[in-house]
Copies of this chain bind each other. A is one copy, B any other.
Amino acid sequence: VSHGSSWKTVTIAGVGLIGGSFALALRKAGYGGKIIGVSSPPAIEAALARGVIDLALPLEQAATQSDVIYLAQPIERIIETLETIDPYVRPGTLITDAGSTKTQIVEQAQESVRRGRFVGGHPMAGKELRGVAAAEAGLFQGRPYILTARDPELEHWVAAIGSKIVILDAREHDRLVAFTSHLPQLISTALAASIPIQLGAERVVGPAALDLTRLALSPYEIWKDIFATNSTAIDAALETFIERLENLRSRLKDPVIESEFDLAAAAALRLRQGN
């Protein structure tokens, strides 16, 4: 199937859950070109065995022959790659990424990417399992996919893999996900750590506690870089949230907090209508 796409060779740097799923999704959407994987030896072995990539190369070699370089590494690694990749790419090569924060990544790209051109990306998709073994073509289906700039061909493929394209400035993205993703993680971790297990709290657990502590199962490893690269926005989101919570706390027996419940219910409903 041809979509009139000029993409003939795509390099995926970091062939884990997201990078592997993007490769599988591209194929399923009709991409007929080559897919080169750049990753650790065990990830490459697994990706080749599953047919997720066509071949493996060191990054610099892959860069010289690619139309697109898709960085699906941890955030700090993406920043390091952006610092050094540009001399190896052909002029006009599209470099994009899948990092969960965007401001520092876009800033690094503005500083370092000259021959190539960079469009930041953030697919709002994931699951509890990690690694290329968990990759699936349908991972992005129906999920928002943020892009920090317009690019017709990238938008074509992002739409083709089933995502909803959202164009957002990097700083705006980071401010919003601080509320919708990073704050929920910190809340879940703080809540789970607060529940008095030593007093047998697990005996009275209902759906509420289970829902709110699910994120607390996430390892710190995947959050470290997010906190490091979005601390200002996260701090502001925490401040807003703690103020709201202290307000409820100080008026616990005052019926005036009904208006806060109404406001929250309307917001929760609105979040669901967007999905």
Contacts and interface: CB of A to CB of B under 8 A. Distances in A.
A176 B200 contact: yes
A261 B220 contact: yes
A246 B242 contact: yes
A266 B102 CA distance: 31
Given A261-B220, A265-B219, A271-B197, A206 B180 contact: yes
A144 B205 contact: yes
A203 B252 contact: no
Pick the most buried of A181, A196, A204: most chain B CB atoms within 10 A of its CB. Answer: A204
Contact of A205 (B124, B190, B253): B124
B206 A264 contact: no
A232 to B, nearest CB: 10
A192 interface: yes
Given A257-B220, A267-B193, A272 B210 contact: yes
15 contacts: A124-B204, A143-B206, A168-B204, A176-B196, A180-B205, A184-B208, A187-B245, A188-B208, A188-B212, A202-B273, A212-B212, A217-B265, A218-B261, A219-B265, A231-B252
A228 interface: yes
Contact of A220 (B192, B237, B262): B262
A157 interface: no
Interface residues of A, number: 91
B242 A195 contact: no
B192 A265 contact: yes
Interface of A: 124-126, 143-144, 146, 166, 168, 172-173, 175-177, 179-181, 183-197, 199-220, 223-224, 227-228, 231, 234-235, 237-238, 240-242, 244-249, 252-253, 255, 257-258, 260-265, 267-275
B204 A208 contact: no
A241 to B, nearest CB: 5
When all copies of this chain in the complex are counted, the total is 2
A213 to B, nearest CB: 4
A199 to B, nearest CB: 6
Contacts of A264: 188-193, 213, 216
Contacts of A217: 265, 268-269
A33 to B, nearest CB: 30
A172 B235 CA distance: 35
